[in-house]
Every structure is written in C-alpha cells, then in structure tokens.
Amino acid sequence: MHVHVYSERGEAKFWLSPRIELARNFGMSTSQVRAAKALIEEHEDEICDAWQKHFGS
C-alpha cells in the first residue's frame, strides 16, 4: 500500500505498510518530504481506510 504526494515542483511516493517510509522523491525538498510524512502519519488511519475502500483488500 502506498500514497503519492504532489507539490508544485515534484512528487514523492510513500509506502504505508509495513511502516510509513519514503519510497521515491522526484524534486521535493527535504522539508516538503518531512512535512508530507508528518501529514501522512497524522492521517494514517483515514488514508488506509480510503485506500481499502477504493482498491479493496
């Protein structure tokens, strides 16, 4: 399970399991990646629930 995060200058892909970690970064700054990871951690349950509803188990 993973999520993509977009910014005006790039995008990043984060794995959600088995733990939240950066998979790839295409042009986002370190601070943007750090902020994105913090938001993903804060909303992990909501993101995972939405992912399951959209893609199934």
Residues 33-47 pLDDT 10s: 999 999 999 999 999
Domains contained in the chain, number: 1
CB under 8 Å to 7, separation ≥6 — which residues? 27, 28, 32
> Could you list the residue range(s) of the whole structural domain that residue 29 is in?
2-55
What is the pLDDT at residue 55?
A: 87
Q: Is the pLDDT of residue 57 over 90?
A: no
Q: Match 């042009």 to its residue by tokens.
A: 27
The mean predicted confidence, pLDDT, of the chain is 94
CB under 8 Å to 28, separation ≥6 — which residues? 5, 7, 9, 10, 11, 12, 36
